[in-house]
Amino acid sequence: MKRVVITGAGTINALGHDVPETLEAMREGRCGIGQLEMRDLDRLAIKIGGQVKGFEAEGIFNRQQMALYDRFTQFTLVAARQAIAQAGLEFSGEMAAKCGVILGTSGGGMTTLDDNYRSVYEDGKNRVHPFVVPKLMNNAAASHVSMEFNLKGPSFTVASACASSNHAMAQAFQMIRCGMAPAMVTGGSESMLCFGGVKAWEGLRVMSRDACRPFSANRNGMVQGEGAGVFIFEEYEHAKKRGAEIMAEVAGYAMSSDASDIVMPSKRGAARTIAGALADSAIDCEEVGYINAHGTGTAANDKTECAAVADVFGPHADKLMISSTKSMHGHLIGGTGAVELLACIMALRDGVIAPTIGYQEPDPECALDVVPNEAREAKVNVALSNAFAFGGLNAVLALRRV
Amino acid sequence: MEIRDKVIAIIADQAVLEPSDVTMDSTLEDLGIDSLGLVESIFAIEEAFDISVPFNANDPQESDFDISSVASIVAGIEKLVAEQK
């Protein structure tokens, strides 16, 4: 089996428009969640989110591209350009034929859907723009990345709600590990912060009106975010031979399904997946120094996740650090695992653990070291990234310091 | 139909029971209504009475809306209807 390393990373999210800005915000425990800016805000009960501010597609994309790219595709391309530039890879010949793009998203082109439903239902128009379908389809982002960078290998989009990015990255990892591809572009994106997207989440009554406070006893729900995270996963020898800078090693993963409930998480399912990722990567639980939690800030997730961690790690659960960066960038749904992987890279490479901000009151049901409010310096050799999606679909990645 | 009968009809529908099987002292647990069923019932109640029910599924106990029994739900809805009409 081949070893797999990360040689490039890109992002755009509420904390920053690239990786250095995002990591700086995480180090400083800055909150990217604020008042939403969108039309018909007065008709929404939930008015906050981790929105990407100050992003202008003009100048980044030409007019023809803008007509074809939904916001989730724009985010993806911004992040992919950064990641590929950092990795310094060029895709031609055999390399182009073998390398592909696997991305996660849950909603795909929600803004396009929202705008066009409004146009035909509310405004009564009988004609829509010819690009509605190619703009909104879930695979649009993956396809545009493949076109821009000449990636002709296996490319597709994975949708498993809040675990989409982790499932996508697990799949890309597996392709490199088994020798199918020397490198893959992977990660995910989401742009659900449009009127219909927020309204739909409102219906479920799990959204907070003021802040995302994972693990804090006074937490009152999740907050949506948006953005993208894209990485270059590369076969270790391939990266070493060309002298690429290695950010971290992807050591293994596990995926599982609870097969029980469409919205409630399962402790056993989460524990099985965490334990599976350790087994797959041959990591002893004592080696794990940091877990980037799924940590949505809902009552159901946080206590279930903490119980699962306690079950898997036993006494070591009290020694490791576990934080939820959703407190800062919000829940990016299908893109969340990708942005959260950055916190794992920061822990391993820079020795800085991103905090869980907004933490105000200890909860006996979440009695782990959640790195409250302030980042911490610590040497970490192994980090895990958890994702437990609606529908009971779980994916956990294990990363190792190189 | 009185508010009480309408609320009971909605809860019975959610529980797949006859309205006569839903008593005022029944709890949602007795009726086999889980958290998702509860959120769905509250939606149906809001639609039926054109009101807004202050309920956060994260922490039903902390919400300003008592769901401990059918009686408390009916009382809560009566109050909200009076306030919001």
pLDDT class for A317, splitting at 50, 70, 90?
very high
Can you tell me the distance from the alpha carbon of A82 to that of A104, in angstroms, rounded to the nearest whole number?
A: 18
A10-27 per-position pLDDT tens digit: 999 999 999 999 999 999
> Alpha carbon of A19 to those of A25, A172, A228: distances in Å?
10, 21, 11
Torsion (CA) A144, A149, A152, A153 in degrees, nearest 10? -90
Q: Are A368 and A309 spatial neighbours (Cβ–Cβ below 8 Å)?
A: yes
Asked whether residue A333 is domain-assigned, the answer is yes
The tokens for A288 are 């794990």
* Count of domains observed in chain A: 2
ipTM, two decimals, is 0.79
Q: By three-state DSSP, how is residue A240 classified?
A: helix
Backbone angles phi, psi at A187, to 5 degrees: 145, -135
Asked whether residue A101 is domain-assigned, the answer is yes
Residue A287 burial (CB < 10 Å; 0-12/13-18/19+)? middle
Contact residues on chain A for B34, CB-CB shorter than 8 A: 264
Q: Which domains does chain B have, with CATH numbers?
A: 3-84 (1.10.1200.10)
Examine the residue annotation and report whether A294 is marked as an active-site residue of this protein: yes
CATH number at residue A71: 3.40.47.10
A213-245 per-position pLDDT tens digit: 999 999 999 999 999 999 999 999 999 999 999
CA distance B39 to chain A (A): 7
SS3 content of chain B, % helix, strand, coil (to 5): 55, 0, 45
Report residue A160 CA to chain centroid gap. Answer: 12
| Domain boundaries, position A390 | 253-400
A148-160 per-position pLDDT tens digit: 999 999 999 999 9
| CB of B43 less than 8 A from some CB of A | yes
Q: Are A161 and A106 spatial neighbours (Cβ–Cβ below 8 Å)?
A: yes
Contact residues on chain B for A220, CB-CB shorter than 8 A: 56, 58-59, 62
* Whether residue A307 sits in one domain with residue A204: no
Instruction: Report the DSSP beta bridge partners of residue A225.
Output: A50
Can you tell me the distance from the alpha carbon of A335 to that of A230, in angstroms, rounded to the nearest whole number?
A: 9
* Whether residue A223 sits in one domain with residue A115: yes
- Mean pLDDT (chain A, rounded): 97
For residue B62, what pLDDT is reported? Answer: 67
- Contact at CB, A203 and B43, closer than 8 angstroms: yes
Backbone angles phi, psi at A333, to 5 degrees: 50, -110
The tokens for A245 are 């800078």
Can you tell me the distance from the alpha carbon of A222 to that of A210, in angstroms, rounded to the nearest whole number?
A: 10
pLDDT over 90 (residue B63): no
Can you tell me the distance from the alpha carbon of B60 to that of A361, in angstroms, rounded to the nearest whole number?
A: 19
The DSSP H or E segment spanning A49 is strand A48-49
